[in-house]
Each structure stands twice: as structure tokens, then as C-alpha cells.
Amino acid sequence: MQIIRAKDYEDMSRKAANIISAQILMKPDCVLGLATGSTPIGAYAQLVKRCQKGDLDFSKITTVNLDEYKGLDRDNEQSYYYFMNQNLFGKVNIDLSRTFLPDGTESDSDKACRDYDKIIEEAGGADLQLLGLGHNGHIGFNEPGDEFVAKTHCVDLTESTIKANQRFFASIDEVPKQAYTMGIQTIMQAKKILVVVSGADKAAIVKEAFFGRITPKVQASVLQLHRDVILVADEAALSEI
Ligand code: F6R
């Protein structure tokens, strides 16, 4: 694993954007695996800037995102598609028909998951997979458990996640109770993995995930077995290693 130390969030975002830009320049028709969450927002903003300046071309890129809430359509402001559209897709010259996320509107979970695996397989898998890191070591919605789940699957959100999300919705009934997420095997099949982490609150989990035991209790620890992982983290996130 390669660790790139950044000064702060801005620096981490620039460094992560450099790696994604290099991937796009080297292979203009590559498949990018993308993440939502707060950590990659700065990197996406950098990519948007570079594209708008004419330095980066997304026209031949395919994207596959890690996850989506079950039950939310693309126009729902809490959906991950909406997030991607706001932060990246809507601001660069990407062909929207080649931007993929699990279909949150598909109520048949097995079908949604099978369809998504097929999309990823037909795209040839991710050349570069971007990942954020959850405080409990989750990647995508692969939460701590007794196993690593290989393929796209439907997860029940924990009571605390549902409660935390409640503030974004009119009532608790509208908060999604489940999500679809890419599985660990699919993530591990990406040719290159870029993990972005920022902040002192992630320092303990960075140490555990990348230097601790490999265990499904810390799902990101499996990344230690991948042969091309780059961790771009700021000093605060790296303060315990
Ligand atoms: C997002 C995702 C999540 C986040 C993780 C970190 O698509 O799959 O695993 O990457 O929860 O989130 P932030 O960046 O908000 O700390």
C-alpha cells in the first residue's frame, strides 16, 4: 500500500484529484468506481474545475457507484444519484447513460443486485475504485459483521443510521431502511483502489483498518490484501500511525 500524506482536507482533495485525473488521462475510456459521502466532495470539485478548464475529458468515461438507498428515486435529494449529479455528473461532460448506481427504485432486491453486478461485469470492472472510510471501517455499505459479502447485496440500515438520517426527511417513515451496496469481492477486483480519509476522528480506524488484523469486523481491513491501494489522507487522519 502506498500512503500519500496530505496537509489538510484541501490538500487531500487535490492529491486525490491528481490520481483520478492521471487515470482519466492514461485511459480516457476507463471505468471509475465512485463513492458518495463528505470526504470525496473536495476531490470532485477539483475534477469539475479541471474539466471546465478543458484539462480533463469525461466524455468516454463509465462510472459505477458503490451504493444507493433502496426506495429512493434519482430525483430524491437524499439519493446517492442526486448527490453524484450535484457534485460531479451534472458539472462535467460525462455521458449520463454511462453513469451507474444500483437502482434504488427496484423493489426486488435480488433483481436489483443481480442487475448491478451484470452492469459492473459488462463494463469490465473498475480501473480505479474510489473509497471513503466509515468510522467503523465500513466501505460502501459493507458494515462490520461475520463475513465479507462478495457481490452486490441489500443491507438493513442500523437503527442509529436511520435515526441519524431522519433529519433529512419529513417523517421517520420516509427514511430508507435498506440500501444496495457493491460487495467486497467486486471492490477488490478493481485494478487500483484509492482511499480518501480526512480528520482526527478517523485516525483510530485508519490504524485499525490498514495496520490491524484482517477481519470482517473491520471490512476495510481486507484492502490490505489488494496489491494496488493508495491511501490519501490528511495529517490528522494519519496521526496514529
Ligand atoms: C459512500 C460510502 C460510504 C462512505 C463512508 C465515509 O458511497 O459508501 O462508505 O464512504 O461512510 O463517509 P464520509 O466520507 O462522509 O466520512
* Cα 134 to ligand 1 centroid, rounded to whole Å: 6
Angstrom distance (rounded) from CA 127 to CA 109: 26
Share of the chain above pLDDT 70, in %: 100
d(C-alpha 103, C-alpha 113), whole Å = 8
Helices (H), 27-158: 41-52, 80-87, 109-123
The mean of the pLDDT values for the chain is: 96
132 closest CA partner among 223, 50, 21: 223
> Between the CA of residue 193 and those of 92, 101, 122, 131, 155, what are the distances in Å?
22, 18, 19, 7, 23
Q: Tell me: the pLDDT tens digits for 34-90?
A: 999 999 999 999 999 999 999 999 999 999 999 999 999 999 999 999 999 999 999
pLDDT of residue 167: 87
**What is the C-alpha separation between 130 and 50, in angstroms, rounded?**
18
200 conformational bin, left if phi > 0, alpha if psi -120 to 50, beta if neither: alpha
Tell me how far apart the alpha carbons of residues 134 and 9 are, in angstroms, rounded to a whole number. Answer: 16
For ligand 1, what atom is nearest to the CA of residue 202? Answer: 16
Ligand 1 surroundings by CB, under 6 angstroms:
35-39, 66-67, 132-134, 138-140
pLDDT at 43: 98
Question: Looking at 55-59, 60-64, 138-142, 166-170, which range is the least confident one?
Answer: 166-170
Residue 8's SS3 state is coil
Is 83 exposed, middle or buried (CB count within 10 Å of its CB: 0-12, 13-18, 19+)?
Answer: buried
What pLDDT is recorded for position 172? 87
Among 156, 232, 178, smallest CA distance to 1 is for 232
**Residue 237: predicted pLDDT:** 98
Per-residue pLDDT at 149? 98
CB 45 within 8 A of CB 36: no
Catalytic residues: 67, 136, 138, 143
> Nearest residue CA, atom 2 of ligand 1?
140
> What pTM did the predictor assign?
0.97
**Quick one: 184 exposed, middle or buried, by C-beta within 10 A (0-12, 13-18, 19+)?**
buried
- Ligand 1 atom nearest the C-alpha of 140 is 8
* Residue in 194, 141, 178, 183 with CA at minimum distance from that of residue 30: 194
